[in-house]
A and B are shown apart, each in its own frame.
Chain A
Amino acid sequence: MAAVNFSRNSLRGESRNISIRAAVLKRMQPFISSGSRLGVVHPGADAGIYMQCRYLLAPVYITGDKDQMPDTILYVGDFNGRDSAMMTQINNRRVLWQASDSIYHYYLTSIR
């Protein structure tokens, strides 16, 4: 009874955001292997986005540390043309996959 209720009525609070992100990142998983390392870059350095990506993509190792960025980087942000520096970074890299949800755009990139 609890389990049925859990699956039906539990999308509230932060879980709603995680659920939206999970639906998008699930589509990215064929592009990265379980043992790989991935950098996550997002404007405003919101720890929440970094940690949600880490949770949803585990066991992939995710780093948000600028000094340890691996070759493959996931850019997450509400770009809307405002963060031109980040768009320039993305344009200088090879885009492997991209998608959007109701809040963010996602670009999985690697070095050219």
Chain B
Amino acid sequence: MQRTTLYILITGFAVCIISCLYFLLLALGISSMLLTIILPLAAVGGMVLFFIREKTALLSEQSSFRMAITAFLLLNMMMRVDAITEKYGGWDAWAIWNLHARYLANPDHWQQLFLNVKYGHPDYPMLLPATIAYFSRVIGAGPELPAFILGIFFTFAIPVLLFMQQAQKSIIIATVVALVPAMDTFFLHQGVSMYADVPLAFFFLCAVIAVSLPVAYRLRFLLAGAALGCCIWTKNEGMILAGIFFLYHVRGITKERGLLWLFMGAVMPILTLLILKVGFAPANDLVQGIGTHTLAQITDTHRYVIVYNHFSDIMSEKLSYMMSGMLICGILYLWRKTMPGKNIMMIWTCVIAYFMVYIISPQGLEWHLATSADRLLLQLMPAAMFIIAEEVSDIGPFSFFRFNIAGR
């Protein structure tokens, strides 16, 4: 495992710990500024020490060649986001995520947030808003700058993670798989729009990376559990992704006696989410909207055609590189005469699950698709790119380029 990869994962988990503890302190009615700042920092410090001291021998250093490519990736993304950044982010940023952060930043009146049922989605998980509120209170300013910096971190971390992990197998595949999202305006725009979709994509990628780590790294299931917990605490869709991930990997994890580690990693965000959902938040509008008409929607073939066409358009227009990768994998499976890998199947199960969300959605179908489908599919892109790269890098010519320069 790359040392840099571990640092990026730890930073993501630090965001989760800060948000959980900040929210729990608010829920307990503790408004002390000193405690609110120190307790999350102390917990993050403890977590960092734990991971750094554990099995450091298994961590590999970054070569200067790889660092140069990473620097190029970062510079390229920096120049591209320059032209698309907005101070208040996209519509959902100021209407939902940063709005929640503004409420959470006020320890006396934060519960007024849950009155905003109309357009406010107060049932949404709080990883982003609570972290933004925490830093907003620390710096004594509005939520925009902390939200932007968090957005930049999650957006930039994805191509870097893809590159770092794949560079050990094939430097060519690693460069391609990292450059594609790094040069994709749709991905970068979503990232700096301060929405929660790119952070969710980041955590889902972390979970997939964690289970692919060598068996010798015994904390890999703890990392995977923490990443799944973060998914759940970032967006409601995170529960779907974490559930499907768990179903696909539970046998392997149980076989390696990693179930307890997985649970330990996920316990804090899951408990915090339970407290939010049971103690404070109103019911989710989609769940509440499920009723007798849902059966009619499931049997309405016209809805399937509409959702399929919309998904196809997104896949061919905005995520064509992901589809091309999937196609290459398909050809590879035919050539090898093997069944698709477990992780590829997992990604497609997630796509089907999202597909069904639209089938049973109580919202206007066209409007619901137009406002969210591209972001939902984007959540799967980084993990899909990593999995595709894993499959492709085993092909002879690419694995040949595990050339020494990459390891120096």
Contacts and interface: CB of A to CB of B under 8 A. Distances in A.
Contacts of A35: 108-109, 112
A92 interface: no
Given A6-B145, A19-B88, 14 more contacts: A2-B152, A3-B148, A6-B148, A7-B87, A11-B87, A15-B87, A51-B94, A55-B99, A58-B99, A59-B102, A59-B103, A59-B110, A61-B115, A61-B116
A61 B145 contact: no
Contacts of B82: 5, 9
B111 to A, nearest CB: 9
B139 to A, nearest CB: 11
B51 interface: no
Given A35-B112, A52-B94, A65-B118, A18 B99 contact: no
A29 interface: no
Size category of the binding interface on chain A: 20 to 34
A100 to B, nearest CB: 21
B242 to A, nearest CB: 30
Interface in A29-59: 34-35, 47, 51-52, 54-55, 58-59
Interface of A: 1-3, 5-7, 9-15, 18-19, 34-35, 47, 51-52, 54-55, 58-61, 64-65
B149 A3 contact: yes
B367 interface: no
B118 A59 contact: no
B106 A15 contact: no
Interface residues of B, number: 31
16 contacts: A2-B78, A2-B149, A3-B148, A7-B145, A15-B87, A19-B87, A34-B109, A35-B108, A51-B94, A54-B116, A58-B102, A58-B106, A59-B103, A59-B112, A59-B113, A64-B118
A5 B82 CA distance: 7
Interface in B40-88: 78, 81-82, 85-88
Contact of B85 (A5, A18, A59): A5
B103 A14 contact: no
Contact of A51 (B86, B95, B103, B106): B95
A61 B106 CA distance: 13
Contact of B86 (A7, A10, A59): A10
A13 to B, nearest CB: 5
B102 A51 contact: no
Interface in B374-390: none
Residue among A9, A51, A60 with the most chain B CB within 10 A? Answer: A51
B106 A2 contact: no
Interface in B148-203: 148-149, 152
B148 A2 contact: yes
Nearest to A1: B78
Contact of A6 (B87, B95, B98, B120): B87
B335 interface: no
